[in-house]
Amino acid sequence: HVCPTPHWKMLLAAKILVFAVNGFLKVATALDIGLSTKCVVIPKEMGMCQKIGYSEMRLPNLMGHTSMAEVIQKSTTWQHLAHTDCHPHVRTFLCSLFAPICLDTFIHPCRSMCVAVRDSCAPVLLCHGHSWPASLDCDRFPGDEDTCLAPLTKDYKYFCARNYTVFVILFAAEN
């Protein structure tokens, strides 16, 4: 774990982006994660990631897919699960992996979001003869103490606008 430079507070303040998009509040820093990526339009073939509040995604994505053909092929297998509404955040979780929002840095889903989605959606997969895949092992995602995408806790519900689900990016605090 590399600690931010002493200027991290200024950089963070200068580079914080707030997106109130399609019912989500997303905050991200522009700190580089060292991957060479490009922004591309989310293709219409990725129906589960249409109308999610942004239109461009990063390639390669968080699943390691490097071509749009690969992204479309791999994400298609998840579209049915996304439309089952097995968890309120299943689309957010899957799209954060297959079609991550095009920012200066990747924002991974928090482990807690993965666990919540897995616990609700794995039984749906089992009904169709599939188990939760190793590629979505929740241990690969950061804990809530790291920078990641997580559902907002009940303590902050007063931030929620009517008919909106709110998410925040959790920033690790260095003591």
SS3 of residue 167 by DSSP: strand
Structure tokens at 174: 């260095």
> Cα–Cα distance between 57 and 39 in angstroms, integer?
5
The pLDDT value recorded for residue 104 is 84
Would you give the distance in Å from CA 168 to the centre of its chain? 11
127 pLDDT higher than 60: yes
User: By the 8 A CB rule, do 16 and 29 touch?
Assistant: yes
| Across 39-56, average pLDDT | 93
User: By the 8 A CB rule, do 97 and 59 touch?
Assistant: no
Give all domains of the chain, ordered by start, each with its CATH number: 8-170 (1.10.2000.10)
Tell me the pLDDT band of 42, cut-offs 50, 70 and 90. very high
Beta-strand relationship, 148-151 and 24-28? unpaired
Tens digit of each residue's pLDDT (9 = 90 or more) over 72-103? 999 998 999 998 989 999 999 999 999 999 98
Model-level pTM? 0.68
Whose structure tokens read 């990641």?
A: 148
The pLDDT value recorded for residue 159 is 30
